Amino acid sequence: MPDFVIAPPAIPSVPVAGGGDFPVRRIYCIGRNYPEHAREMGHDPEREPPFFFSKPADALVTGGAETPYPPATSDLHHEIELVVAIGGEGAGIAVADALDHVFGYAAGIDLTRRDMQAVAKKQARPWDMAKAFDHSAPVGDIVPAARIGHPAKGPIALAVNGKDRQLGDIVDMIWPVPDAIAYLSTLVTLMPGDLIFTGTPAGVAAVERGDLLQGTIAGVGTVTTRIV
């Protein structure tokens, strides 16, 4: 056993519906993967090679826990997303084989410091701190694909304080799950424990302290958190 000089950090994990926990290795996120969201962010939604950013695994918020409002922003935005949990190692994965690497699915929320992101974009700087901050990835329980199959269509929605904010359909993804997995696997080796946030539909907007966020994906599940 290694002789660590400090206590090793805990392994982040997400509860699995039906029992057990899914240990999380890395979190990858796809940007602008729905046409209407691409348009609302001022971009052309034509299918171009996808781009990815990351969040740290310990940014997860699970079990419906509260989410602290982060420092260094006054414009915190919600983005409801289908989350893919990878269960099998792969690099250079063919689209036809991609779903064989999926353990399951969950509903998640990509929280974004939108004002910080806007400044970084304007200055042509990385926007890691706009996306990869503490508690920036609330996620619901992972439902095994063996139980629900591989959802390719169905409503995806988010409400704030009971009022609808985002509503779309996962069938509208520019890069569907198999394509996204295949492309990402040309850039990195995907491993068991990886999560992929697959992008958000239109309707992203700011949230405040006290707001209750409730996301749903038909056939997958829910994610709930209150901003405090």
pLDDT (tens, 9 = 90+) of the chain, 228 residues, equals 789 999 999 999 999 999 999 999 999 999 989 977 556 555 666 767 889 999 999 999 999 999 999 999 999 999 999 999 999 999 999 999 999 999 999 999 999 999 999 999 999 999 999 999 999 999 999 999 999 999 999 999 999 999 999 999 999 999 999 999 999 999 999 999 999 999 999 999 999 999 999 999 999 999 999 999
47 CB-side CA count, 13 A: 7
Contact partners, residue 92, CB within 8 Å, separation at least 6 = 185, 186
Fold of 13-226: Fumarylacetoacetate hydrolase; domain 2 (3.90.850)
pTM to 2 decimals? 0.96
Position 35 scores a pLDDT of: 76
| CB neighbour class for 212 (10 Å; exposed up to 12, middle 13-18, buried from 19) | middle
Residue 11 identity:
I
For residue 99, give the DSSP letter.
G
Max CA distance (Å), the chain: 52
3-state secondary structure of 169: strand
SS3 154: coil
Contacts of 40 (CB under 8 A, 6+ apart): 202, 203, 204
What residues contact residue 32 under an 8 Å CB cut-off, 6+ apart? 38, 41, 43, 45, 51, 174, 199
